[in-house]
Amino acid sequence: MRFGILSTAKIGREAVIPAIQASEHTVTAIGSRDAERARRVAADLGIPEAYGDYETLLADADIDAVYNPLPNALHAEWSQRAADHDHHVLCEKPLTVDSAEAIDLFEYCADRGVTLMEAFMYQFHPRTRRAREIVREELGELRAVESSFKFRLDWDGDIRLDPELAGGSLMDVGCYAVSSVRGFLGEPNRAFAHATDSRETGVDTNLAGTLAYDDGRVAQIACGFDSPHVERYRVETDDGWLEARDCFGPEPDQSVSLTYAVDGREVTETFDPVDQYRLQVEGFADAVSAGVDPLVDRAETLGNMRAIDALARSAERGEPVDVAPTVE
């Protein structure tokens, strides 16, 4: 598969482009609003073509698919434009600004016969699949899940602090925490959240939330831009627990582990280093080639966006809210 890259964003330069190039797929072109920057990044990364705007890349480049790491508020527009040129789309998370826009985008791409996938790379890591398998098959009745993703955002001019670009910690890193608890518990029924705006920029810089289930199970999520780096989730069952750290963004050369306990027996499993971005690219390309839904499919993305919508709505209102039903 030949990829075109929309923008010279850091996540593309440092993670996704090298992952594509390490696979059997290729990066054919990259575009930027700054033509000189596009040429410089193309030269540095060995990309054959560079374009000074996105539309020209979409129209002229010899590509099969687009990777879209633009700011959140631009995901839908430029993913639609890619679909207009019959390009499949791998788009950074969160896919859109809310679930309604996500529904529209999925329908738009389906109408044009292209595959759309949200880029949640951690879901392709073998540890993620194994953790869910352990909870499902080896532990008892699931009671609660906690998940946190926080780091210190040092630059006050960062686009993640811009409300016009759908910034905020919930959208940037909280989406991982929401995704991870849903991976164990499924779709929640209610949400309650509290958020703060420590930078006075108009977005949440810290958020703590609860996702509740009608059967009594509960999930706690936390995210933020003002704390030392932490990535973890912990699952509690009636006979034990499971915990993983560095669970969303391990480096390609980093071995990772998970630990679980059941009936007083504690086990740690270790996983060899893998490039989860490469696994994501390969999974996306394989789904396109086979004409099947990708691992992170429409239902997964919409479920996550509905929970995020509810948490954001609750934080704004200061009261619990219902999560929109999954039936469209």
Q: Which residues are catalytic?
A: 93
Q: What's the distance, CA 260 to chain centroid?
A: 25
Q: How many CA within 13 A on the CB side of residue 292?
A: 6
300's CB contacts (< 8 A; 6+ apart) are 118, 120
Residue 201 has what DSSP assignment?
A: S
d(CA 87, CA 165): 24
Q: Report the side by side order of strands in the sheet with 88-92.
A: 49-51, 26-31, 2-6, 65-68, 88-92, 116-119
Q: How far apart are the first and last CA of the chain?
A: 32
SS3 letters across 34-83 = CHHHHHHHHHHHCCCEEECCHHHHHHHCCCCEEEECCCHHHHHHHHHHHH
CA 264, distance to chain mean position in Å, is 34
* C-alpha span between 295 and 291 (Å, rounded): 12
CA distances from 135 to 26, 95, 175, 255, 260 (A): 37, 28, 21, 21, 9
Alpha-carbon Rg for the chain in angstroms: 20
Tally helices (H) and strands (E) across the chain.
11, 15
